[in-house]
Amino acid sequence: MNPPATSPLSPVDAHRIERHAAAADAAGFLHPVHQALLHRRGWLKMLAPRAAGGAELPLPEVVRLEEAVAAIDGSMGWVLTLCAGAGWFAGFLAPELARQIIGTPRVCLGGSGASTGYADEDDDGYRISGRWDYASGAPMATHFTLNAILRANGQPLLDEQGAPRSRAFLVPAALVRVEDNWRSIGMRASASHSYRIEDAWVSKEHGFTIRPDAATANGPLYRFPFYSLAYVTLAANVAGMASHFVRLARECIGRRQKGMPLLEEKEQSLHAARTHFYQTLDRSWAQVAGGITLSDDDMLSIQTSSLKLVATARAAVDELYPYCGLHAAHAESTINRVWRDFHTASQHSLLLPA
């Protein structure tokens, strides 16, 4: 299955991804060809600072690539997005540490955003303990990101509102024990396992704050708000999976000659929502690249266009599925795998209706 002519994916790379997608799904992790492609193309470093050895690509270019990969294989698109997204955090680390991490052979950063662990102050560092879920790409991760509640003398440190303070950390995989427990119906090859850390010491430099004013890299990529970046990258993945499903649905519906008007309606709706989504993203990126800080209204527009795209994708997949026949329910069919991937990825809490 080749991508559209305007796709940022080459036909050769698209074929490599598609050819091994079913095998990766059955194995429960990305095929070696997929992994090699991620590293050979430098995609896992595309959001990391150039000064640290990353590509630091413009965000609209990154998002379009992530959508294109997800439109061939949802699991690979998801791993690319989440692991490259973790690489973005290098723009908030001390520059020397960022260079060391991004310079790691076959570097891959995975992790979780939940504050389900503790970081206890210990001299000039922290002792970290806890357990975190849903680290996509965990088996190939060389480093893990996490959030942990800060403590001193066993007691949580509190912020100005009296709530426990949380801090982000990036730690080497040698300190982490991955728990092989990802058993979802879809996105199987994302291998989004849990991981655990038990009383591991890291220096204070491994902690960081994700705010534009805390960035250590100077590019506009690190002035783009974190949640806005998360919305657009996740929504693009869901849109890619939905477009894959709709292409396969056209084949099924074309054979059955029932549901074609609905199919055309959903294709038009997806096109309109996608167009608006990229117009909003491109405009927002141009503002940030031009030195303008996004306002609350600007960030709300990004969130709204992202959630609208996701809602339109959900409606297309759910309403077209019944017209695709029992072939779409067969566990080994491509359309069933895409359907399972879509409904697993779209469960992400950030993609729920506002």
For position 57, what pLDDT does the model report? Answer: 98
Residue 105 belongs to a domain = no
Quickly state the pLDDT bin for 257 (edges 50, 70, 90). confident
Quickly state the pLDDT bin for 102 (edges 50, 70, 90). very high
CATH code of 130's domain: 2.40.110.10
Residue 291 belongs to a domain = yes
Mean pLDDT of all residues in 91-103: 98
Residue 283 belongs to a domain = yes
d(CA 277, CA 307): 9
Whether the CB-CB separation of 77 and 344 falls below 8 Å is answered with no
Domain boundary among 92, 123, 144: 92
| 197 lies in the same domain as 251 | no
Q: Are strands 166-172 and 207-208 parallel, antiparallel or unpaired?
A: antiparallel
| 81 lies in the same domain as 153 | no
Quickly state the pLDDT bin for 353 (edges 50, 70, 90). confident
Mean pLDDT of all residues in 165-179: 98
| 267 lies in the same domain as 334 | yes
Q: How many domains does the chain have?
A: 3
For position 128, what pLDDT does the model report? Answer: 98
Nearest Cα neighbor of 309 from 226, 244, 228, 232 is 232
pLDDT in tens, 273-313: 999 999 999 999 999 999 999 999 999 999 999 999 999 99
Nearest Cα neighbor of 89 from 55, 47, 57 is 47
| 122 lies in the same domain as 238 | no
| 228 lies in the same domain as 193 | no
Q: What percent of the chain has pLDDT over 90?
A: 95
Whether the CB-CB separation of 177 and 198 falls below 8 Å is answered with yes
For position 5, what pLDDT does the model report? Answer: 47
| 334 lies in the same domain as 230 | yes
Whether the CB-CB separation of 207 and 122 falls below 8 Å is answered with no
For position 7, what pLDDT does the model report? Answer: 81
Please list the helix, strand and coil fractions of the chain in percent, rounded to the nearest 5, in that order: 55, 20, 25
Residue 103 belongs to a domain = no
pLDDT in tens, 126-164: 999 999 999 999 999 999 999 999 999 999 999 999 999
- SS3 state of residue 292: coil
| 176 lies in the same domain as 117 | yes
pLDDT in tens, 26-72: 999 999 999 999 999 999 999 999 999 999 999 999 999 999 999 99
- Give the list of residues 6+ apart from residue 225 with CB closer than 8 angstroms, or none: 212, 294, 299
For position 3, what pLDDT does the model report? Answer: 44
| 35 lies in the same domain as 139 | no
Ranges of beta strands (E only) in the chain are: 109-122, 125-135, 143-152, 155-156, 166-172, 177-179, 193-203, 207-208
**Residue 69 one-letter amino acid:** V
pLDDT in tens, 207-229: 999 999 999 999 999 999 999 99
| 37 lies in the same domain as 67 | yes
Domain that holds residue 290: 224-351
For position 2, what pLDDT does the model report? Answer: 43
**pLDDT, averaged across the chain:** 96
d(CA 258, CA 64): 32
| 273 lies in the same domain as 311 | yes
The alpha carbon dihedral of 352, 29, 233, 341 has a sign of negative
**Three-state SS letters, 122-171:** ECCEEEEEEEEEEECCHHHCCEEEEEEEEEECCEECECCCCCECEEEEEE
For position 145, what pLDDT does the model report? Answer: 98
Nearest Cα neighbor of 83 from 13, 146, 135 is 135
Higher per-residue confidence, 6 vs 102: 102
Residue 200 belongs to a domain = yes
For position 113, what pLDDT does the model report? Answer: 92
Residue 107 belongs to a domain = no
Domain boundary among 165, 183, 214: 214
Nearest Cα neighbor of 67 from 56, 55, 54, 81 is 81
Domain boundary among 92, 120, 136: 92
| 154 lies in the same domain as 241 | no
For position 258, what pLDDT does the model report? Answer: 86
Count CB atoms within 10 A of the CB of residue 272.
13
CATH code of 22's domain: 1.10.540.10
